[in-house]
């Protein structure tokens, strides 16, 4: 095989990465697309390519012989169904995070990949962002010593728009936003700290969104849309204060990792700004990032060595492409996996374990902070 013929399942917001796979003169080309929404299909054809098979049935897409691999870009609750079907159809699979919305779903996908012998890759694009690759390199260099504590604060600006004006706001579709949003952060903690989480305790609530508005209310038809702080500015229009909303918007998670590291993860969806703040504290110093400033700071403590004489600031260089240049890189990684057998940075187990932690933390939240054990697959 010299060129990977790609199929796309799901042409919603995340389908913007598909353009990186459509390289007719390169190593990959999009030959088929499936989505139940005809408007999304038309937009995809306009933005990416109209020279491909289109259908409203992913089953029909998977029957085609001119598709070698499939990108699962559908809503979270469909990942398991779509990934398993694609693997059984003999297609290699790129699946957006979270891998599934349950541990059992992740295990089923991984087992199917093993049984079929097809490649499976999880879309953890943050591992390819220059900010976090820099932080990984700093920790691996040993300059801040052995990591003992990790603190992560996730300020989700526009959280209401992206997660409470559509299907994300219902736990039956997401389990919780500790999977949809938190799976990235939990995975980065695991990756940089070098271990998976073994137990969690968590607290959370629906502190701002949800309420008593009708479930069929939309922003364009709402009488208070001109004064409402959460009136939708775009295409996601369901009322963020509707009665059916049941996914926490304010979460605190405490984790103990397999190597004894203590970590905390805080996530809030009604902050005015958007950024992720990571702090790693080791026996020789501390590392902290500032996404708005594009910097990583390293502070060293007295150690009777050269490290006590200076601190360091890393300026992250800008990169072209979505998510700080990560999107084109992760798309190429999938093609390299299929064509050349080059293993990507994240593994399917990484994807599974981030989901396991998110599920365990959600269970803890809904059981008064009960400590929940996180198990590896059997």
Residues 160 and 48 in one domain: no
Residues 164 and 80 in one domain: no
Q: DSSP for 113-153? A: HHHHT--EEEE-GGGGSHHHHHHHHHHHHTTT-SEEEEEEE
Residue 341 lies in a domain: no
Domain carrying residue 35: 4-124
Residues 55 and 96 in one domain: yes
Tokens, residue 331: 């798309």
| pLDDT the model gives residue 16 | 86
What CATH number is attached to the domain comprising 180?
A: 3.30.360.10
Residues 200 and 159 in one domain: yes
pLDDT digits (tens, 9 = 90+) for 16-64: 899 999 999 999 999 999 999 999 999 999 999 989 999 999 999 999 9
Residues 47 and 136 in one domain: no
Residue 202 lies in a domain: yes
Using a cut of 0.85, tell me whether the model's pTM lies above it: yes
pLDDT digits (tens, 9 = 90+) for 114-153: 999 999 999 999 999 999 999 999 999 999 999 999 999 9
Contact between residue 34 and residue 99 where contact means Cβ atoms under 8 Å apart: no
Strands 28-34 and 53-55: parallel
Residues 20 and 55 in one domain: yes
Q: DSSP for 333-354? A: HHHHHHHH-PPPSS-HHHHHHH
Contact between residue 155 and residue 277 where contact means Cβ atoms under 8 Å apart: yes
Distant-in-sequence, close-in-space partners of 105: CB < 8 Å, separation ≥ 6 = 79, 80, 99, 355
| pLDDT the model gives residue 238 | 96
First to last CA, the chain: 35
Residue 216 lies in a domain: no
Angle of CA points 194, 199, 203, to nearest 5°:
115
Tokens, residue 124: 């953890």
DSSP label at residue 21: T
Residue 262 lies in a domain: yes
Contact between residue 22 and residue 84 where contact means Cβ atoms under 8 Å apart: no
The least confident of 156-165, 253-262, 282-291 is 156-165
| pLDDT the model gives residue 371 | 98
| pLDDT the model gives residue 69 | 98
Residue 221 lies in a domain: no
């Amino acid at each position: 095989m010299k060129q990977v013929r790609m199929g796309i399942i799901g042409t919603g917001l995340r389908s913007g990465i598909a353009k990186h796979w459509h390289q007719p003169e390169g190593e990959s080309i999009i030959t088929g697309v499936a989505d139940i929404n005809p408007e999304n299909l038309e937009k995809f054809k306009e933005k990416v390519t109209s020279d491909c098979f289109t259908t409203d049935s992913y089953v029909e897409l998977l029957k085609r012989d001119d598709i070698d691999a499939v990108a699962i870009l559908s809503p979270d609750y469909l990942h398991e169904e779509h990934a398993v079907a694609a693997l059984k159809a003999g297609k290699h699979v790129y699946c957006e995070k979270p891998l599934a919305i349950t541990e059992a779903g992740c295990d089923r996908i991984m087992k199917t990949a093993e049984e079929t012998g097809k490649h499976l890759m999880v879309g953890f694009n943050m591992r390819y962002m220059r900010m976090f690759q820099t932080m990984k390199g700093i920790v691996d260099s040993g300059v801040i010593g052995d990591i003992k504590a990790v603190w992560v604060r996730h300020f989700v600006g526009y959280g209401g728009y992206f997660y409470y004006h559509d299907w994300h706001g219902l736990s039956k579709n997401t389990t919780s936003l500790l999977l949809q949003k938190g799976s990235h952060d939990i995975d980065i903690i695991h990756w940089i700290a070098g271990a998976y989480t073994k137990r969690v305790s968590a607290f959370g609530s629906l502190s701002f969104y949800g309420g008593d508005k009708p479930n069929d209310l939309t922003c364009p038809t709402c009488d208070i849309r001109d004064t409402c702080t959460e009136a939708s500015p775009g295409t996601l229009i369901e009322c963020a204060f509707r009665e059916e909303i049941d996914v926490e918007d304010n979460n605190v998670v405490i984790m103990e990792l397999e190597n004894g590291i203590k970590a905390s993860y805080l996530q809030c969806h009604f902050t005015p700004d958007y950024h992720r703040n990571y702090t790693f504290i080791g026996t020789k110093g501390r590392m902290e990032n500032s996404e708005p400033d594009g910097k990583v700071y390293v502070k060293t403590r007295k150690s009777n060595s050269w490290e006590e004489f200076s601190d360091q600031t890393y300026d992250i260089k800008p990169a072209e492409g979505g998510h700080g240049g990560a999107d084109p890189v992760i798309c190429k990684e999938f093609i390299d996996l299929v064509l050349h057998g080059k293993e990507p940075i994240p593994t399917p187990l990484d994807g599974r374990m981030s989901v396991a932690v998110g599920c365990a933390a959600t269970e803890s939240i809904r059981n008064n902070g009960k400590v929940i054990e996180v198990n590896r697959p059997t």
